């Protein structure tokens, strides 16, 4: 990719952010990012993002974000990250929970143990049968990090509407604006790599920061080892003002 092509894609990335986070007229955004007519802007926008500016503003499809380049030993930001923004009222997750100490190596070993346990005792199968929520897929939720104890509360569950089934616990997830990223590939590799890029590339390149509260991993594919497995990472965000690029 040439420098000129990267700059064009970066401008269209910034234009998409402004479209979905403001009420600025599309024609004004087109002029701001160097397009002489709305038609030329719409053509270039659709080529990069696969939708028209009007469709992006209505929340259709996913934005293809070319992040800010960071020149260190290597070059970051060239590979696009697929994401979309949604706003949701509060919703309920039902499932099982445990508290884990983070420590130097993190809680991943204990989290894997929890998944294995609920797979063996039938809880996982029971959760898979609960399917009346908007989020389709099993959810791993990270809640309530305690800096003092260096612990997190971790949930495995499903979005569910109605009375909490017997033997399960319920978690009320607060209303929020969410940025939803897609990770494709074996969960053990693709998900940590996507988290790394979110914090090292996406957040520094965009006008959002973590809003605190619950973060979600939504497992969409039955086989987490599949090379085509799809996982969504949901992060509650809020905007901040940043005049730089």
DSSP string, 71-127: ESSSEES-S-EEEEEEEE--EEEEEEEEEEE-TTT-SHHHHHHHHHHHHHSSHHHHH
CA distance 183 to 198: 11
CA distance 39 to 111: 50
Q: Determine how many CB atoms are found less than 10 A away from the CB of residue 47.
A: 11
Q: Determine how many CB atoms are found less than 10 A away from the CB of residue 37.
A: 11
Give the CA angle between residues 143, 85, 27 to the nearest 5°. 155
CA distance 176 to 18: 19
Predicted pLDDT of residue 160: 95
**For residue 91, what are its two tokens?**
């919703």
Highest mean pLDDT among 65-69, 91-95, 148-152, 197-201: 91-95
Predicted pLDDT of residue 45: 92
- What DSSP character marks residue 199? I
- 68-119 per-position pLDDT tens digit: 876 554 445 556 788 899 999 999 999 999 998 876 556 778 888 999 999 9
- The closest alpha carbon to 140, from 181, 86, 98, 102, belongs to 98
Residue 174 above 80 pLDDT?
yes
Predicted pLDDT of residue 81: 82
Predicted pLDDT of residue 245: 46
Say which residue the tokens 């939504």 belong to: 218
- pTM of the shown model: 0.70
Residue 1 parent element (H or E): none
Is 118 within 8 Å of 110 (Cβ atoms)?
A: no
């Amino acid at each position: 990719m040439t420098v000129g092509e990267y700059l064009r894609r970066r401008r269209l990335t910034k234009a998409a952010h402004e479209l979905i986070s403001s009420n600025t007229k599309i024609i004004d955004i087109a002029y701001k990012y160097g397009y002489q007519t709305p038609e030329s802007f719409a053509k270039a926008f659709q080529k990069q993002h696969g939708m028209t500016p009007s469709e992006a503003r209505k929340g259709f499809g996913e934005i293809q974000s070319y992040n800010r380049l960071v020149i260190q030993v290597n070059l970051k930001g060239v590979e696009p990250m697929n994401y979309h923004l949604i706003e949701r009222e509060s919703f309920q997750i039902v499932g099982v929970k445990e508290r884990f100490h983070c420590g130097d190596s993190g809680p991943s070993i204990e989290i894997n143990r929890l998944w294995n346990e609920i797979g063996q005792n039938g809880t996982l199968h029971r959760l898979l049968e609960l399917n009346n929520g908007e989020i389709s897929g099993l959810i791993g939720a990270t809640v309530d990090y305690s800096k003092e104890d260096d612990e997190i509360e971790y949930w495995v569950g499903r979005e569910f509407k109605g009375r909490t089934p017997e033997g399960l616990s319920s978690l009320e997830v607060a209303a929020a604006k969410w940025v939803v990223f897609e990770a494709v590939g074996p969960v053990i590799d693709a998900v940590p790599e996507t988290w790394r890029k979110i914090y090292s590339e996406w957040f520094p390149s965009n006008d959002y920061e973590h809003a605190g509260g619950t973060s979600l991993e939504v497992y969409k594919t039955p086989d987490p080892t599949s090379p085509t497995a799809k996982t969504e990472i949901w992060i509650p965000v809020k905007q901040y003002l940043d005049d730089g690029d």
